[in-house]
């Protein structure tokens, strides 16, 4: 079952992607079976997914921080 990002361990999720990356890098047939592309494209795709996850996590943290900051400002100015 899906859980929101804040309740999941990002390091564990990225670790799983890195395990998948290693598996497809070692076996072209596995890359084709798992991702429908050769191992070079599969590895590049996984690298991009990891990058996007890290970027999204950073942006999410910034948004949460700003919301908290603006909420505190709004309550102190009343």
Query: Residue 2 gets which letter from DSSP?
Result: -
pLDDT at position 2 over 70: no
Looking at residue 16, what is its pLDDT? 93
The pTM assigned to this predicted structure is 0.73
pLDDT over threshold 80, residue 72: no
Q: What is the pLDDT of residue 3?
A: 59
Which among 78, 24, 70 has a CA at the least distance from the CA of 47?
24
Say if residues 5 and 11 touch (Cβ distance below 8 Å). Answer: no
pLDDT in tens, 18-33: 999 999 999 999 999 9
Work out the mean pLDDT of the chain and round it to a whole number: 86
pLDDT band at 41 (very low <50, low <70, confident <90, very high): very high
d(CA 50, CA 14): 7
Closest by alpha carbon to 37, among 20, 55, 18, 24? Answer: 24
Nearest in space to 5 (alpha carbons), one of 66, 56, 41? 56
């Amino acid at each position: 079952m899906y859980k929101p990002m804040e309740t999941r361990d990002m390091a564990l999720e990225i670790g799983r992607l890195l395990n998948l990356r290693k598996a497809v890098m070692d076996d072209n047939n596995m890359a084709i079976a798992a991702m429908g592309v050769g191992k070079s494209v599969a590895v590049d795709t996984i690298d991009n997914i990891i990058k996007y996850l890290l970027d999204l996590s950073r942006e999410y943290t910034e948004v949460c921080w700003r919301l908290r900051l603006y909420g505190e400002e709004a309550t102190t100015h009343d």
